[in-house]
Each structure stands twice: as structure tokens, then as C-alpha cells.
Amino acid sequence: ESGIHLPGLLRAAGAVDIHVEVRPLVITSLAAFRAMRNPDGVLKYLVMRHQVEADRAAAFLADLEARDREGSFLATSIIYVVSGRKA
């Protein structure tokens, strides 16, 4: 989410010639996904806040783990690369 704010933050800091690139990231490993997004912690938080039922969260994680074991795990993310120069 923060990536979409970077151009405005640079502009507010006085940068000019702002350039934005969007790069897709394909994640094929649950270990890499866990390192990047911490789904276990997010689900624990959502369960604690009663926004997701514990059994549904556990089933979701079990599904991710099964996909990883089968070699079919897939997640995606977007990376924003923003540059500019001082005015």
C-alpha cells in the first residue's frame, strides 16, 4: 500500500521529474511468502479481532501448505519503484 503514496511524498518533499515503475513479483514458495507477508501473524490478528474464525484461518493456512508441498503455491505482489531528483 505504501508504494502508491511514494510519488506524492517525493513531490511534497520537493522532488521533480518523478518516475514510477510497477513491477510484478511472482512468489512460488510459501517460505518466501511468509517472510514477505507474514500470513500466519495476519490471520492470528484477524482471529483475535473476531474478523475471521479460527477454523477458517487454519484451513486457509493448511491449503497454502498443501499447495507448497505439491509445488503449486503461487502468490503475487506489486513492487513500486519511484525515483525523482531534487529541484
| Residue 15: exposure state from Cβ atoms within 10 A (0-12, 13-18, ≥19) | middle
> pLDDT by residue (tens digit) across 54-67?
999 999 999 999 99
Low-confidence ranges of the chain (pLDDT < 70): 1
Give me the pLDDT at residue 1, please. 61
Give me the pLDDT at residue 2, please. 80
What pTM does this model have? 0.75
CA 78/CA 1 separation, integer angstroms: 9
Among candidate residues 81, 71, 85, 84, the one with its CA nearest the CA of residue 23: 81
